[in-house]
Amino acid sequence: MRRGLGIAIAASLALGATAAVHHRASAEVADDPPSIRVDADLSERKLYIKQGDSTLEAYDVAIGKGSKPTPQGNYKIRKIIWNPSWVPPDEPWAKGKKTQPPGAKGNPMKLVKIFFQEPDYYIHGTSDLESLGEAASHGCLRMHPDDAYRVARYLMDHGGQPRDENWFWRILHFRSETKTVYLDHPIPMTVED
């Protein structure tokens, strides 16, 4: 059974010591390029956080469907938007849909957008948890919102933009406030079938 975002908030606050270790490690290697990478395997419908040959984390994702496949290639994650708004694209599938402000229950981005091919393709949360493991998106990679939170936070720690627990507390509790983070050390990402 999956956790709710409320559990992620409690876990975030409870894991302060772990985060402090990550922050110290990030500070110690702030001038070094990241040693981690993100791999998305479209056939497995998984997103992996890797370091060298080791897989640190694996997450279920929904991938692009039909005429809107997730683009394959090598990318760099440079930008993360917390509490993003959602503006319906000029596409037939979005006809009649309304703009959703940050933190709105109907906002399909949920808590965070992690760009891998700007401006159109990113990793984001979803409320449609049944779509995970399926070809169900319009090209983006969808994740459980708690998992997207963890991935974005990890990428910030290792991309030269660590933040303290208070910063994340504000992100989680002031959902109408959008924050954009640019990584000092972009994280490599590969998307392949």
Place of tokens 């208070």: 166
Ordered by start, the domain boundaries in the chain are 5-192
DSSP state at residue 138: S
Global pTM reads: 0.82
Give pairs for 88-97: CB < 8 Å, separation 24+.
89/138, 91/138, 93/138
CATH of 5-192, one of 2.40.440.10, 3.40.190.10, 3.40.718.10, 3.40.50.2300: 2.40.440.10
Concatenate the DSSP letters of all residues of 98-131 into one string. Answer: --B-TT-TT-TTTTEEEEEETTTEEEEE-S-GGG
pLDDT tens digits, the chain, 193 residues: what are they?
Answer: 444 555 444 444 444 433 433 443 444 444 555 589 999 999 999 999 999 989 999 999 999 998 899 999 999 999 999 999 999 988 888 899 999 999 999 999 999 999 999 999 999 999 999 999 999 999 999 999 999 999 999 999 999 999 999 999 999 999 999 999 999 999 999 999 9
